[in-house]
Amino acid sequence: MVTNLFSIRSAAFLLLALMTTLPTAAGQSPNNPLLKTWDTPFGVPPFDRIDAEDFEPAFEIAMDQHLTEIQAISVNSEPPTFANTIEALENSGKSLNRVQSTFSALTSSATNDELRAIQARMAPLLAAHSSMITLNADLFARIDALHKKRDSLGLDDEALRVLELTHKNFVRAGAMLQGEDRERLAAITEQLAGLYTAFSQNVQNSTEAFALVLEDDDDLAGLPNFLLSAAAQAAQERDLEGHVITLARSSFEPFMTFSTRRDLREKLYNGWTNRGDNDDEFDNEANIRQILMLRLERAQLLGFEDFSSYRTANTMAGTPQAAKELLDEVWVGALAKAKDELDRIRKIMQNEGADHELRPWDWWYFAEKARAASYDLDEDAVKAHLSLDNVLVAQFAVADRLFGIKFSERRDIPTYHPDVKVWEVKSAADEHIGLFYGDYFARPGKRGGAWMSALRSQHNLGDGATPVIMNNCNYNKPAKGEPALISMREAEVIFHEFGHALHGLLSNVTYDSISGTAVDYDFVEFPAQIYEHWMRQPEVIKEFALHHETGEPMPTELIERLKAAANAQSGFDNVEYIASAFVDLAFHRITDPEVLADLDINSFEDGVLSQARMPKAIDMRHRSPHFLHSFAGELYASGYYTYMWAGVLDNDGFAAFEEAGDIYDQSLAKKLYEYVYSAGNTRSAMDAYIGFRGRKPSTGPLLRNRGLEVKSQE
């Protein structure tokens, strides 16, 4: 998952990112570290000198500076040129950008009550600031004048692309609206910013409010050593005795998989699925209704039937119908596979004398038994060979072999938490490329999930800037002196997020607005998902999956069992994912605001899933009240389908390496670098994919690799 840490020069315009202004601060202290020149290595944020109280005055001054820059562009008496309008726009807002990116890093990964309060106050102000720019009539007149004569300006391809995208995204932000419609659009943007913040904070507060305390030995029945160690550490961090299971996925899923206590599995499952839906101060249902109503109103102001049509109009899919058709195609095979899995599980339950119906909190537990019976796969044995440190070495080594880049740890870079590590990235010629931050452990104050973000994006305009990229995950922190052992799926997530990181680190474009991950949102997952494939390759596993005690490589027979079991839960995984994508699309296809005003969120979910013939033993991956992808911002709103869309691309794309017979084939790696990882948004997503692959993508490899091919009935 990508989190766009704010970029005025790029995502603000491209994704309706949220910003606006305050009066200049009177008597502001000159010692505010956010406003001074950063004398840190490579000019990174001085996290060790920044206090929460520094942010609001820094935002205030930086926003005022930005508006002054925008005003200078807008009222320039010279005729508009690419340099005095588009390049000037690209160069504006640098102070605001670095304040916002620093703030976003802390509110995502190391927040507290003070930062949450600032975030809630600033979100609508920043949104209004964004509207004042995108709805600036004089500024848009200059952009529009350039756009009308773009073919006669003599621009190179990249500059022409920037001009076209800037114009398109100002239009999508409402620049062509007039009068009351312009004012209403600005108000909607401001309201949504506050709602997104409230939704996200409710999810985090609801998540942190839950802890399953295991009080005696009976509560620990069935739990493997790696989970017992992590649960003891979680209890210690919360000043509790014994063991604690949290709602971090790395804690939740192993407990659901191995605990023999069905009552505790049900309790934990209800805590998980009811985040943001407990009829308390952290309840998100009213926020969802308001978000959906405002999104619909904005889409209709801009001439679209519904929000989903607005969101997909600027993507590879093009329409919500095309996105739904892809999901439907995969759904058929996923349902068939899930029914096969369900039959195997019921046989296991029958053999064990279980006299209850299979419920969602039983699935992981009995699915693991079915997997163990079919593939003789011991999760403890797998984890013993997958230390976090070795997986990080593996992700760096694969990047070196594909793209010729080196990673070396730097201990002189200030960070916001002791868990965070920083690596310098260099080319094969020993030239500095950028910095990479890794923050891998769950803790209070850090939001759940895994994501990539940018403290600074790459660009070559003027003095240019090298990228500073971050990965965050939420794995169980081991006891002091013990290694962090992770599952194969968790190792794949590390590779996934690092694929996003490489998209930012390897970017080599002139303009910040098209740098790195600033691509069509249904293409943004492709560089991450294709990188996952390398973690699954026997060559990589044999070299880097080393036993944490003996240093011995993972045995060949265990690797073969891992490969054989790769699709053991493919039906479940795809059904729970597609179910969430179905609901996400359906919410945003509603065209009647009165329907949204009275919408019962739970009933709507049930209706969508019933129509799709969702198995009762499986739930959607993300219920709406905690669905951050859909309701904590707009990058994935009505766009959760993008993981499947990118799945088609990544399976088809990696098949090129398989066909070449070399997972490090240098001719393919060069094309992957040239057309994808370094290219940003310099060309359309489909053109980028075809440039790498030589043709349009096929769904065949995805269906085959996930075991979802449906045999024809003859």
| Closest C-alpha to 161, from 440, 436, 431, 509 | 509
User: If DSSP codes are grouped into helix, strand and coil, which group holds residue 376?
Assistant: coil
What's the chain's length in residues?
Answer: 714
Query: The dihedral of CA 321, 324, 329, 335: what is its sign?
Result: negative
> What is the rounded distance in angstroms from the CA atom of residue 484 to the CA atom of residue 470?
20
What is the model's pTM?
0.92
pLDDT band at 712 (very low <50, low <70, confident <90, very high): low
Give tens-digit pLDDT for 119-129: 999 999 999 99
Distant-in-sequence, close-in-space partners of 554: CB < 8 Å, separation ≥ 6? 382, 385, 541, 542, 545, 546, 547
pLDDT band at 711 (very low <50, low <70, confident <90, very high): low
CATH code linked to domain 11-201? 1.10.1370.40
Instruction: Examine the pLDDT at 98 and tell me if it is beyond 80.
Output: yes
> What is the rounded distance in angstroms from the CA atom of residue 488 to the CA atom of residue 494?
10
pLDDT band at 377 (very low <50, low <70, confident <90, very high): confident
Instruction: Cite the active site residues.
Output: 497
Distant-in-sequence, close-in-space partners of 313: CB < 8 Å, separation ≥ 6? 304, 319
Say what angle helices 137-148 and 157-172 make with each other, to 10 degrees.
140
Can you give the pLDDT at residue 8? 34
- Name the residue ranges covered by the structural domains of the chain: 11-201, 210-273, 307-377+568-640, 384-550
* Percent of the chain topping pLDDT 70: 96
**Residue 202 region by backbone torsions, left for phi larger than 0, else alpha for psi between -120 and 50, else beta:** alpha
What's the CATH fold of domain 384-550? Answer: Neurolysin; domain 3 (1.10.1370)
Query: One fold for both 11-201 and 384-550?
Result: yes
Least confident of 21-30, 98-107, 155-164, 701-710: 21-30
> What is the rounded distance in angstroms from the CA atom of residue 287 to the CA atom of residue 196?
8
Instruction: Examine the pLDDT at 4 and tell me if it is beyond 80.
Output: no
Decide: 540 and 701 in contact? Cβ < 8 Å: no
**Residue 25 exposure: Cα atoms within 13 Å on the Cβ side:** 17
> What is the rounded distance in angstroms from the CA atom of residue 283 to the CA atom of residue 278?
6
First vs last C-alpha separation in the chain? 42
Can you give the pLDDT at residue 13? 35
The number of beta carbons lying within 10 Å of the beta carbon of residue 611 is: 10
Can you give the pLDDT at residue 6? 36
Average pLDDT over residues 575-589: 98
Decide: 495 and 532 in contact? Cβ < 8 Å: yes
Average pLDDT over residues 348-371: 94
Average pLDDT over residues 683-697: 97
Decide: 462 and 13 in contact? Cβ < 8 Å: no
Residue 387: is it exposed, middle or buried by C-beta count within 10 angstroms (0-12/13-18/19+)?
buried
Can you give the pLDDT at residue 29? 56
Average pLDDT over residues 247-264: 96
> What is the rounded distance in angstroms from the CA atom of residue 272 to the CA atom of residue 626?
9
The number of beta carbons lying within 10 Å of the beta carbon of residue 356 is: 8
In 173-318, which ranges are continuous DSSP H helix?
A: 179-209, 225-237, 249-258, 262-273, 285-301, 307-312
Q: 432-441 and 468-475 as β-strands: parallel, antiparallel, unpaired?
A: parallel
Element spanning 353, H or E: none
Q: 421-427 and 405-410 as β-strands: parallel, antiparallel, unpaired?
A: antiparallel
CA geometry: angle at 212 spanning 206 and 216, to 5°? 165
Query: The dihedral of CA 127, 129, 131, 133: what is its sign?
Result: negative
Can you give the pLDDT at residue 25? 37
> What is the rounded distance in angstroms from the CA atom of residue 150 to the CA atom of residue 164?
8
